[in-house]
Amino acid sequence: MKANPHRLASCLLAASVAIALGACSNATPPQASNSAAPAASTAPASAATAAAAPAAKADVVAANVDSSVNPGDDFFSYANGAWLKKNPIPASEATWGIGKLVQEELYGKLRKISEDAAAKKDAAAGSDEQKIGDFWSTAMDDGLAERQGLAPLKPELDRIDAIKDAPGALDEAFALQPLGIDALFDFGVQQDEKQSDVMAVHLSQGGLGLPERDYYFNTEAGVAKVRAAYVAHLQHMFKLLGENDAAASASADKVMAFETALAKVSRPLADLRDPQKNYNKMSPAELTRKYTPGVAWNQQLQAWKLDPSYVIVGQPEFFGGLQKLLAQTPVPVLRDYLRVHLVDGYAATLSKPFDDEHFDFYGRALTGQQEQQPRWKRALRAENGAIGMILGRIYVQDYFPAKAKQRYNDLVEAIRNAYGARIKKLDWMSPATQAKALEKLAAVTKKVGYPDKWKDYSALQIGRDSWAQNEMNARRWAFNDQVSKFGKPVDRSEWDMTPQTYNAYYNPSNNEIVLPAAQFMVPGFQDDEIDDAVVYGYAAASTIGHEITHGFDDEGRQFDAKGNLADWWTKDDAQKFTQRANVLVKQFDAYEPLPGLHINGSASLGENMADLGGVLIGLDAFKQTAEYQKGGKIAGYTPLQRFFFGYALGWIFEERDAMLRQSLLSDVHAPAKWRVNGPLSNIPDFYQAFDVKPGQAMWRDAKDRVQVW
């Protein structure tokens, strides 16, 4: 069961940049020291960073500079261009950049953990080593997958084949939810946004095979091509499931028509960012009566041992539309829809024809990836998704010492202090709202490195029957774990990312920032090889400042210090905030990364605001350091220049056009280039550092610059 991706946690990275070995996703950050008295060198503190390099190692940022580009025209290409020219995207990847290099290091460490566990013949049943070893060995056994074919899914496929009417299709959609298949809708047990100490049932739109609803309607040529490829993919899947050419083609067209109708009643991406409009509290009986007379929600939820007095419905009109669709759709089409979503959801664990067909669309057509990654990398990604916290316990023991955790705890406080000072100086915010903002800032909980309390996985069964079976067991366990939280006190110590994830997030319901251990890696460098300026740009600004700012972006600002969706702003202050935020919306709406496809300034507002706020706060903190105050140059660049280089370092990233198209349509993060050029074009210190002048592309007139935090 998945948490609703459009509420709660705001991640540092885009899905398209996802370096998560099994989590949300973004990129950035090394280490840094206490801002008041920085150590002589304060780089990423992870012991997991690369081994000592040759004495002649190039400077961490100077080596990436493309001097043929003027920084005032395109700072992203100036700061990162030399690296990008030397490092084309490998055929097995849809994207490439600094985060991928970190991922390669993580792959090596996690592969060793997995292979060591698999080689341990005397691992106790139920132990971490047994689960890791059995999952790894089974996922790597391609011969076993070939012999089994579709057999691991046969019980579910038989149930689908036995569906005789729409109610039966609904029953099966509910049965697929514990297997991680969000057929027809999405479900989760999460904190009540308006009562954060209560776990509530959430229901929201879902059930699409394409990444986002606009993929079904956008007329841009590349999107139209992807739509056609998706129909062809469905046809190929139905042929693999035993249908002849004509039947498979008819099934594909009808499923596509059904999903298009489902997309039509779904809310657009930007509308999913309004927490008030996506909070609709009602009893299960009221949901049935008003929107879905054909769905007995009380009965269905009771089958999962849930008996809530209310549910929180994200998009009531979606469920009303779903009700009508179920009534008018022929049962064979519903069977085909459920069948293909199940098989696509487990294709990577099945025999080669299913795996290859799934990759051909979701990899090659959708992202531009030219060839599959090797099986061991795919197995590791699956292992991280299924049992990542079990792996994480071993990972942090081996690669993240306690001193590193303390160092980043200190850096969070430096950023908190800098943000507090900035809030106190805001001339547009009233004293009453300032006091509330400072109260919320002081209450932000920091989670650094890894959980203080590890989750109990003793009930999870992992064996060597099949990769698909292990996946099903892990997804059922995660579903049952989430459902079990209903009616219990909220566990605010829980993490939604594993320690070995190169990403970070802010959760408004807990008013917390979560910074996994792997997020502090700088590939190829040890801690003492990076100066404070780069670290404050790369870690303090791009990660810590970014995540804290999420608590005060267009969505996060609507939650109070205790994590409740509540209005703590004066009416006048809220209006001023919105006016200033709209300047940022307008700025990003104007960017056109692909012909005919602009960045969605409204959908990406929260991330863009977090980027801008993060740089400003990180810069304030950096100005307190000895390196900034001394002003000496390193590799020919001033401390201020190196700070901005450090920020750009976290966004060394390139992607294929297909992947870029996907992110523009379905991601709330702007592409990497504009996450550098966009915020920096609003910062006077950047103009000073690189002598940016009127007429250059990075120049914005003072009246057009965004001034929020």
Q: What is the CATH number of the domain that holds 424?
A: 3.40.390.10
pLDDT for 334: 98
* Residue 661: both structure tokens together: 């198209």
Does 98 reside within a domain?
yes
Q: Tell me: do 423 and 290 sit in the same domain.
A: no
Distance CA 362, CA 236 (A): 13
Domain boundary among 349, 369, 386: 349
Q: Tell me: do 537 and 443 sit in the same domain.
A: yes
Does 298 reside within a domain?
yes
Does 405 reside within a domain?
yes
Query: What are residue 21's DSSP bridge partners?
Result: none
Does 466 reside within a domain?
no
pLDDT for 337: 98
Question: Which letter does DSSP use for residue 313 in this model?
Answer: E
Q: Tell me: do 547 and 442 sit in the same domain.
A: yes
462 contacts 437 by C-beta, under 8 angstroms: no
- Which residue is it, tokens 């109070």? 560
Query: What are residue 446's DSSP bridge partners?
Result: 513
Distance CA 676, CA 612 (A): 9
241 contacts 339 by C-beta, under 8 angstroms: yes
Query: β-pairing, 280-282 with 185-192?
Result: unpaired
Q: Tell me: do 93 and 169 sit in the same domain.
A: no
Domain count, the chain: 2
Distance CA 415, CA 319 (A): 43
Q: Tell me: do 321 and 450 sit in the same domain.
A: no
Q: Tell me: do 652 and 696 sit in the same domain.
A: yes
Domain housing 696: 10-37+81-108+378-455+494-704
User: Cα–Cα distances in Å, from 231 out to 188, 246, 330, 340, 424?
Assistant: 29, 14, 19, 12, 55
Distance CA 215, CA 260 (A): 9
Residue 151, pLDDT > 50, answer: yes
Q: Tell me: do 414 and 503 sit in the same domain.
A: yes
Q: Tell me: do 315 and 392 sit in the same domain.
A: no
pLDDT for 306: 97
Does 47 reside within a domain?
no
Q: In the structure, what pLDDT confidence band is assigned to residue 404 with cuts at 50, 70 and 90?
A: confident
Does 424 reside within a domain?
yes
pLDDT for 400: 86
Query: Which residues contact residue 202 at a Cβ distance below 8 angstroms, ignoring those fewer than 6 apart?
Result: 4, 7, 187, 188, 189, 190, 311, 312, 313, 314
Instruction: Give the whole-number percent of the chain exceeding pLDDT 70.
Output: 93
pLDDT for 524: 86
Summarised one tens digit per residue, pLDDT across range 153-204 is 999 999 999 999 999 999 999 999 999 999 999 999 999 999 999 999 999 9
Q: Tell me: do 580 and 680 sit in the same domain.
A: yes
Which of 4-13, 618-627, 645-654 has the weakest average pLDDT? 4-13
Does 641 reside within a domain?
yes
Q: How far is CA 571 from the centre of its chain?
A: 32
| Side chain identity at residue 525, one-letter code | F
Distance CA 269, CA 373 (A): 30
Q: Tell me: do 96 and 171 sit in the same domain.
A: no
Q: pLDDT: is 28 or 648 the higher one?
A: 648
Distance CA 18, CA 24 (A): 7
User: Cα–Cα distances in Å, from 494 out to 10, 285, 449, 452, 507?
Assistant: 16, 32, 13, 9, 11
Query: What are residue 195's DSSP bridge partners?
Result: 192
CATH of the domain at 264: 1.10.1380.10
Does 354 reside within a domain?
no
560 contacts 566 by C-beta, under 8 angstroms: yes
Instruction: Give the whole-number percent of the chain exceeding pLDDT 90.
Output: 88
Q: Tell me: do 519 and 651 sit in the same domain.
A: yes
DSSP state string for 473-500: HHHHHHHHHHHTTTTS---TT--SS-TT
Summarised one tens digit per residue, pLDDT across range 112-125 is 999 999 999 899 99
What value does the mean pLDDT take over residues 62-77? 98
Domain boundary among 330, 349, 368: 349
Q: Tell me: do 547 and 643 sit in the same domain.
A: yes
Positive or negative, the CA dihedral 489, 492, 493, 497 is positive
Domain boundary among 305, 331, 349: 349
Distance CA 611, CA 217 (A): 30
The per-type count for the chain, helices as H runs and strands as E runs, is: 27, 10
Which of 30-44, 270-284, 289-303, 370-384 has the weakest average pLDDT? 30-44
What value does the mean pLDDT take over residues 331-344? 98
